[in-house]
Amino acid sequence: MADKSSPEETTNGKSTSPSDVSEETAKKAEELKTIANNYFKEDASKALELDRSYIKVEYLRVCCLYRQGIIYPGNASQNAMQNGQIALHFTKMYIAEGYYRRATANLALGKFKIALKDYEMVVKYRPNDKDAKAKYTECNKIVKQQAFERAIRVEDTKKNIADTLDIASMVIDEKYAGPKLTEGKVTRNFAETLLEHFHSENKLDKKYVYQILLQINKLFRTLPTLCDITIPDKAKFTVCGDIHGQFYDLYNIFKLNGLPSEENPYLFNGDFVDRGSFSVEVILTLFCFKLLYPNHFFLSRGNHESETMNQMYGFFGEVRSKYTTQMAELFTEVYNWLPLAHLINKKVLVMHGGLFSSDDVTLEDIRKVDRNRQPPDSGIMCELLWSDPQPQAGRSPSKRGVGIQFGPDITQKFLDHNDLEYVIRSHEVKSDGYEIAHNGKCITVFSAPNYCDTMGNKGAIINMTSDLKPNFVTYEAVEGCTIESTTSETDLSEKKDLVVISCQNTVDWYFEDTLDFFFRAKTDPFGLPAHSWMSDSQRGGSA
């Protein structure tokens, strides 16, 4: 990374003046961008690598053009004016990306008012960006809703919805012809019938949904934060990654790998909901199998099992549309009790996100985490849900704005410190549905093929026996009902030249570097003071 104190310095440490940035450099940037776009559908990871190269070259070019415009403020030549105009264009473009990145991070942390201010700036600089407008609109709704709730709140202690429901008074719709609970309990027949019921695009009666939620809530409350799993000799065990509301792909997993049973146990590693249009069907199916096989079917919390993410990425809206707002809030209560990690045969740790900002974290530390809450913005719980691996050694700030990125040396230290063999995590889309990193010690599994109906990736699951050797099963997406996604995001295919966003890896750090540079410069190419386009927080005021 270039030294932020000197925008003229390249990654090789050599000085670069504006005259060094030739048309050849600009042409190279465009070539990299074009190649990345061509790779987009075939290999997202390759496209991401090329996009970063394009951004890096363009960043150098923009900084130099900008510097040329402000070093010679008295130069009235047409060349200087043209360079100033180009620099202003790129200034707005990259500033918008910087604001977008920070807004996305604050949004994930539930800091809606701060995120809203940044989305305002994105919309200002990109008035035709549909995605930015959608995010601004949704965030603005949440801010207003929270303000309204504060205004009408009459008591400080909010009662749990689970404690206020009167199931006995609920009446099943007389037109309902779907599966029925037996004496209020989930049976094997109910679970199998429910799968087919959902596959035929039918709803489960509201009373049965509430009964399932109350029962699963009671069960989760009895579980530890870190659950121990034992795979008997020669027995099969399956680990699945993100599903994200793709019910028809979940149905396909069970078709390929068999329905859950005591002889065919599963662990689903978080992010069951959001983005896909059938999150309700996915989560109810998983909850039913957990109730049916509590010791052979396991569920781990992901970063999308949270109120903030559900409000922004579709699940709350889906539940309200199919059932009620009260039910959406009850789901939040249930998610708070989901376990955060699982330990297989005392040797393989499975969590949704990744490892930690400290080298001294132990399994016992994980067991002690009080998980009955919304995810915090730091600490063990946050990092279990949000962190990502990186190829280089050491740690670095997360591009998501939450959690950290950890290298192979960090993984090895954690394994040695806790006498483990390797870790399994999810949280990131992979072109083949899985990725083996950190010398085989960090495995990512992602089970939602053709993610968001745009990525073209395969899905994958991991099968293993008591020897703990991972065997990967990959599959393509299947066709299902084509209902418009409930997510507030626009079609991610419109962002082909920003694969970072499409893959939920957000914006590359080069944008932030550029933003920092412009803030330090104090003026734009035409001499406007920086405070005319800086937010309150960047001027030192309150956000």
Are 337 and 420 contacting, i.e. CB atoms less than 8 angstroms apart? no
Cα 466 → chain centroid: 31
Q: Residue 150: what pLDDT?
A: 67
The proportion of the chain whose per-residue pLDDT surpasses 90, expressed as a percent, equals: 56
**Mean pLDDT, to the nearest integer, of 129-144?**
86
Could you tell me the CATH number of the domain that includes residue 364? 3.60.21.10
Average pLDDT value for the chain:
79
Please report, for the domain that includes residue 148, its CATH number.
1.25.40.10
Question: Same domain for 457 and 507?
Answer: no
Q: Say what the pLDDT of residue 539 is.
A: 30
Asked if the model's pLDDT at residue 49 lies above 60, the reply is no
Number of domains in the chain: 2
For residue 13, tell me if it sits in a domain: no
Q: Are residues 407 and 449 in the same domain?
A: yes
* Least confident segment among 25-34, 435-444, 449-458: 25-34
Residue that has been written with the tokens 């039910």 in this structure: 327
Note whether 406 and 503 are same-domain residues.
Answer: no
Within a domain: 431: yes
Same-domain pairing of 501 and 480: no
Measure Cα distances from 257 to 232, 254, 264, 449 in Å. Answer: 19, 5, 9, 16
Of 147-161, 192-206, 518-532, least confident by mean pLDDT is 518-532
Same domain for 182 and 120, yes or no, is: no
Check whether residue 265 and residue 393 sit in a common domain: yes
pLDDT at 133: 87
The residues that bridge with 422 in the sheet, in sequence order, are 348
Residues 266 and 298 in one domain: yes
**81-99 confidence digits (pLDDT tens):** 455 555 555 556 667 777 8
| Helix extents (H) in 472-508 | 499-502
Residue 536 belongs to a domain: no
241 and 271 fall within a common domain: yes
- The domain boundary residue, chosen from 465, 487, 509: 487
User: Is 537 part of a structural domain of the chain?
Assistant: no
Instruction: State residue 89's pLDDT score.
Output: 59
Q: Is the pLDDT of residue 16 over 50?
A: no
509 in the same domain as 426:
no
Answer whether residue 11 is part of any domain. Answer: no
Beta bridge partners of 395: 406
Pairing mode of beta strands 434-437, 442-445: antiparallel
In this structure, the answer to whether residues 108 and 168 fall within a common structural domain is: no
Residue 352 contacts residue 396 (beta carbons within 8 Å)? no
CB 189: neighbour CB atoms within 10 A? 11
In a domain, 175, yes or no: yes
Residue 481 lies in a domain: yes
pLDDT of 90 reads 57
Q: Are residues 390 and 249 in the same domain?
A: yes
pLDDT digits (tens, 9 = 90+) for 478-495: 987 644 444 333 333 333
Inform me whether the pLDDT recorded for 542 exceeds 90: no
| 304 is a catalytic site residue | yes
- What pLDDT is attached to residue 24? 65
pTM over 0.85: no
Provide the token pair at 420. Answer: 């483990």
The pLDDT tens digits for 277-311 are: 999 999 999 999 999 999 999 999 999 999 999 99
How confident is the model over 222-238, as a mean pLDDT? Answer: 97
User: Quick one: pLDDT band at residue 37, thresholds 50, 70, 90?
Assistant: low
Q: What is the pLDDT of residue 91?
A: 58
d(CA 209, CA 218): 14
CA dihedral 505, 509, 510, 512 (to 10 degrees): 120
Helix H or strand E segment including 93: helix 78-108
User: Which of 89, 244, 296, 304 is labelled catalytic?
Assistant: 304
* Domain coverage including residue 477: 161-487
Instruction: For residues 87 and 106, state if they share a domain.
Output: yes
Question: If you average pLDDT over residues 165-181, what whole number do you get?
Answer: 94
